[in-house]
Amino acid sequence: MFEITSVAKPATVDEALTYLTRGGATMAKTGAAQPGVRLLAGGTDLLVASRDRNLRWETLIDLKNIPELHGIHLSGGTLRVGSTTTIHELAASPLVAATLPPLAEAAGMLGSYQLRQRATLGGNICNASPATETACPLLVGNARVQLAGPTGTRTVPLCELLLAPGKTALESGEILVSVECAVPERAHPDLRYGGAYIKLGPRRAMDIAIVNVAVLVGLDTDSVCRDARIALGSVGPTAFRVPQAEDLLIGQALGSNAVAAAADAARAAARPITDIRATAGYRLDMVRNLVETAIITALERVTPAGL
């Protein structure tokens, strides 16, 4: 039976950091040791795992009452999403749909409607599932994460944060504050972009992915590809970018040969395992087929020239 002794509800990041590093007022009273302390966002992973594994927590630090951790903003060509922003808010945001469409698409496929009301972007990232819905679109968005810790804040690329299943580069005492993506069209005003996200699962909802793929392509006025970003999920210890495949697109007018070559390169870069959901061999083939489909879809979605 899992147990939670207390739940702290800090109102600021600094207050949350105090709870996390020194125990805070409530914890001082109970004399709690730090190992029993954990950050709580939506709880859709943490509380289920706690129940499954009979975990005991002295203090859960609920981050949902901290205004600065919440919300979706666009400023200076950068999309900034606070870590406790819910997956539903991402899926429903016109701002996200306009600036990084694969992220909105992916958010709409995570879990169920009910789950999306509760689950947060920060929680989804820090849970570090290789099959996570949000990592691939954020990776193609060149996402950087802002971390607050006892000695100040630092910003790291998302690809450096994700280390292994369940493991991130978050140091003890650190909190994920926000995720930032430079809006592709603002960073490269000379290019027109199109994006796609594909998740393969046996069902049409409520699935954990067998393979996820996100693609973003930027074309110049001659329809030559000048920017290509491809990320894969569920086929390695973390979601990851495949520069080997991207390089085969850049500088090309994307015909079927170039697209097929990139898909083959993505397949070669994937390192899937066989598990209860699918064999490694099937996953490899799916990487190839779905990268191809995702690139074609992304190209179809590139804003027409002159608009």
Measured in degrees and rounded to the nearest 5, phi and psi for residue 120 equal -115, 160
Q: Cβ 161 to other proteins, closest distance in Å?
A: 25
Taking the C-alpha atoms of residue 30 and residue 5, their distance in angstroms, rounded to an integer, is: 9
- Using CB under 8 A as the binding criterion, the count of chain residues that bind other proteins stands at 18
Q: Where are the beta strands (DSSP E) in the chain?
A: 3-8, 37-40, 56-62, 72-75, 78-82, 144-149, 152-157, 162-164, 167-168, 175-182, 192-200, 211-219, 225-233, 240-241
Q: Is 205 in the site for other proteins (CB under 8 A)?
A: yes
Taking the C-alpha atoms of residue 107 and residue 143, their distance in angstroms, rounded to an integer, is: 15
- Considering only residues 206 to 225 of the shown chain, the ones binding other proteins according to CB under 8 A are 206-208
Q: Cβ 301 to other proteins, closest distance in Å?
A: 17
Closer CB to other proteins, 58 or 292, in the complex: 292
- Considering only residues 1 to 30 of the shown chain, the ones binding other proteins according to CB under 8 A are 1
Q: Rg of the chain over CA atoms, in angstroms? A: 20
Q: Cβ 203 to other proteins, closest distance in Å?
A: 5
**Distance from the first to the final alpha carbon of the chain:** 59
Q: Is 285 in the site for other proteins (CB under 8 A)?
A: yes
| Residue in this structure with the two tokens 């499954």, named with its chain if needed | 52
Q: Is 204 in the site for other proteins (CB under 8 A)?
A: yes
Q: Is 274 in the site for other proteins (CB under 8 A)?
A: no
Which amino acid, one-letter code, is at 212? Answer: N
Angle made by CA atoms 301, 162, 32, in degrees to the nearest 5: 135
Q: Is 203 in the site for other proteins (CB under 8 A)?
A: yes
Closer CB to other proteins, 70 or 288, in the complex: 288
Q: Taking contact as CB under 8 A, which single stretch among the options 7-15, 145-153, 175-183, 276-284 is the one that binds other proteins? A: 276-284
Closer CB to other proteins, 158 or 287, in the complex: 287
- Considering only residues 96 to 155 of the shown chain, the ones binding other proteins according to CB under 8 A are none
